[in-house]
Amino acid sequence: MALIGNDNYAKIYNFLKAQGLTDEGAVGTMANIKAESNGKPGNLQNTFEKKLGMTDAEYVAAVDAGTYTNFATDGAGFGICQWTFHTRKEALLGYVKKMAVSVADLEGQLLFMAHEMATNYKSMWNLLKTTTSIKEASDAVLTQYERPADQSDAAKAKRVAYAQEFYEKYAAHGKGQTEDELRALVVAIAEGWLGCNEADGSHKKIIDVYNGHKPLARGYKVKYDDEWCATYGSAVAIEAKLTSIIPTECGCEKHVQLFKDMGAWVEDDAYVPQRGDYVLYDWDDNGKGDCTGNTDHEGIVTECEDGVITVIEGNKKNAVGYRKLTVNARYIRGYGCPDYASIAAAAPGAAEPVNPAPAKKSVAELAQEVIAGKWGNGSDRKLRLTAAGHDYKAVQKRVNEILGTQKAAALEKVAQAVIRGDYGNGAARRKALEADGYDPDEVQALVNKLLKK
């Protein structure tokens, strides 16, 4: 993954938000990083520069080259978190080596920090994902994770002050986000719940997000056994902090009216949507003329390419899942089109973002990166995707779908070649197919199927 931001602190903030930390949790963590290293991943503890006779850069170069072999045991604080204890430094070095990056690589250190916190400091990590207190977050990281010698009230107050500065600079919603980044954020949040379902109760967290937002639409608290497609769309808006442009509602028909009230409703069935638009359906549509019936279901557009719309929906067969349909397809009632541009335009420096908030990539984009080899393989892939705040299962599922489609297309192509006689017959055909990496029996089965059509 590529870190987002024009300076280290912007990159750190955006990374932490991608892990699911609250604004307060993110800036509380950043405050400790500032106090420990001033956000510099190549920072060697000052007192050790003279002791070891090396500058920060010389120390990093020697560790990376393998000419300095006492990294884990020299007792020197290092990196953004000033890791000092030998087992933690050894783990850090092993982690970045596995990534094939420098020990001073910011992304490598952030991924290691997130992995370490999520694995060895679970209660603190969970707190950082739920807290709404800057002081609680900053103090927790100081006393549980960093554990410096000075944990006095004065030391705590200094870090809280840093956190407050970071909050004012980075946590104001919409700061520096472009319209496209806001749309990407909505899609990323929606896809983060992919697979949640009623069967195992995982859909309940979506309902809880909706019910936790006040005031409740019409004062109604959604039950776990209610229909929840509109609730899902609203929960996405709540998580994105975009309820000023995306109305919250648990009923589809009422959602249409709220979009209309905002001037954000597009009645034209033939409208070509953008990602982040809301599509609403009428299952009683007869396909003739403009559909104006009652709305039965809704979802969020994740992409629209070559006239094909991909939508992610809550309560699709009692789960969060995808649907594909064509532009101007039957059953489309219309579109809720949030005014993302108004939020982007209101953000200071939006024309030329200074500290962009995380533009989370869609599951489809991540799947293509996985296929290209950018996220490694096996357990390493799972670790890196998870540490970066992505849903590993959802991404891997899309990878399998893409590769399955590609394999099917390739198999049909070679089957057609067999039918044309390009591969010969009998044993010669089998040998030629095997030489090209195909299973002769699998190809023959498809050939037989195609010839029966």
- For 12, residues 6+ apart whose C-beta sits below 8 A from its C-beta are 5, 29, 30, 33, 39, 80, 106, 110
Q: pLDDT tens digits for 91-120?
A: 999 999 999 999 999 999 999 999 999 999
Take residue 449 and report the two structure tokens written for it.
């199927």
- Say how far apart CA 204 and CA 90 lie, in whole Å: 40
C-beta separation of 340 from 187 below 8 A: no
244 pLDDT more than 70: yes
Helix (H, G, I), strand (E, B) or coil at 104: coil
Please indicate whether residue 99 or residue 450 has the higher confidence score (pLDDT).
99
> The tokens 């309820």 sit on which residue?
243
Q: Is the per-residue pLDDT at 291 higher than 50?
A: yes
Say whether pLDDT at 189 is over 50.
yes
Query: Global pTM?
Result: 0.48
Query: Residue 46: what residue type?
Result: N
Q: What is the mean pLDDT of residues 415-419?
A: 88
Is residue 39 over pLDDT 90? yes
Across the range 239-257, mean pLDDT stands at 91
Among residues 27, 28, 30, the alpha carbon closest in space to that of 38 is found at 30
Type of residue at 114: A
Say yes or no to pLDDT of 284 above 70.
yes
pLDDT, position 347: 44
Task: Give the model's pLDDT for residue 264.
Answer: 93
Q: Which of 43-52, 187-196, 365-374 has the lowest mean pLDDT?
A: 365-374
300 or 437: whose pLDDT is higher?
300
Q: Note the CATH number of domain 179-342.
A: 3.90.1720
- What is the Rg, in whole angstroms, of the alpha carbon atoms belonging to the chain? 26
Supply the mean pLDDT for the chain. 87
Q: Which amino acid is at 117?
A: M
Q: Copy the structure tokens of residue 403.
A: 């590769």
Kindly tell me if the per-residue pLDDT of 74 is higher than 80.
yes
Adjacency order of strands within the sheet including 332-336: 265-266, 332-336, 278-281, 297-305, 308-316, 319-326
Q: What is the pLDDT of residue 442?
A: 86
Q: Are 350 and 176 in contact (CB under 8 A)?
A: yes
Is there a common fold for 8-171 and 179-342? no
Residue 426 above 80 pLDDT?
yes
Q: Which pLDDT belongs to residue 273? A: 94
What is the domain partition of the chain in residue ranges? 8-171, 179-342, 363-452
CATH of the structural domain 8-171, one choice from 1.10.530.10, 3.90.1150.10, 3.50.50.60, 3.40.50.300: 1.10.530.10
Query: Are 137 and 128 spatial neighbours (Cβ–Cβ below 8 Å)?
Result: yes
Query: Concatenated DSSP letters for 125-177?
Result: HHHHTT---HHHHHHHIIIIII--S--SHHHHHHHHHHHHHHIIIIISTTTT-
Confidence of residue 172 (pLDDT cuts 50, 70, 90): low
